[in-house]
Amino acid sequence: MTFASDPQPAAAPQTADALRPPARTVVGMPLALTDYERTMDWMDAVVADRDKAIVTAAAVHLVMVAREDPATRAALDDPRVLAVPDGQPLVWALKALGQTDASRVYGPDLMARYLERSTRSGVRHYLYGGRNQGALVQLVNELRRRFPGVQIVGGYSPPFRPLTPEEEAFVVEDINRSGADVVWVGTGQPKQEQWMAAFRERLDAPVLAGVGAAFDFHAGLVPQAPPWMQASGLEWMYRLCQEPRRLWRRYARYNPLFVAAFARQLAAERRR
């Protein structure tokens, strides 16, 4: 005679702290050693724990601005921040430092993948950013078309100037009233990192996620670089051709500075 084995208790879900990816510092910024699935698992755990965290898709530009701007550095020094390597050059830097399993977590793709996942998990989203309210409505319509069933519970397109105290109070109330689990912030780096740091304590949403130009890409307002250019680390060149007047100073200044700073870091670590 055989007996059925006693049912085993279900494994307890892992906490956000347990799932938080480790990090490796590149030119002064800790970058997560992660991939899309591990990042999204961590975000889900933050939501489940009702914790408070920030995820930002870091590019070379953000790394270099943080070296020069105290406000940006302070925003990123918060231990609740998880900076994922959005730029391919940052992934190459991590690999050069011996992190052979380093992987790119591109902000627009992270947003799209997590929205798709949330159609099953029920995570609710708020969108903060966009060129104007019309562009934000276009983004919402496109996301709902691509991800049927996604719960986008609110949105706000801020003015380009600093918010007044009254506007700040409205935004906080609107986001908290919406019941959002994740607030996607698309106002550009480093503005979005400073905003997330300033508003983190006032917002109930567990996750604030800075994804840069993802709003424009997903709304269809700006074309994305083809995959081969992204994989080759040439996305900056594609974007420069799209918006030369806005971006040429950024790339002309920060790209060479990053190469020089990382070369010094790599040489120092190899000497050790």
d(CA 191, CA 29): 17
The number of C-alpha atoms within 13 Å of 122 and in the hemisphere containing its C-beta is 2
pLDDT of residue 1: 42
Phi/psi region, residue 234 (left: phi>0; alpha: psi -120 to 50; beta: rest), is alpha
Judge if pTM exceeds 0.85: yes
Residue with the two structure tokens 């965290």: 53
Q: Which two tokens stand for residue 217?
A: 């890409």
pLDDT, averaged per 10 consecutive residues of the chain (272 residues), comes to 46 82 96 97 97 96 95 95 95 96 95 98 96 93 97 95 94 98 96 97 98 91 75 72 72 86 92 80
CA dihedral 93, 94, 98, 100 (to 10 degrees): -110
d(CA 82, CA 157): 24
Backbone angles phi, psi at 27, to 5 degrees: 50, 45
pLDDT of residue 11: 56
Residue spans per domain, the chain? 27-219
Q: Cα–Cα–Cα angle for 133, 135, 138, nearest 5°?
A: 110
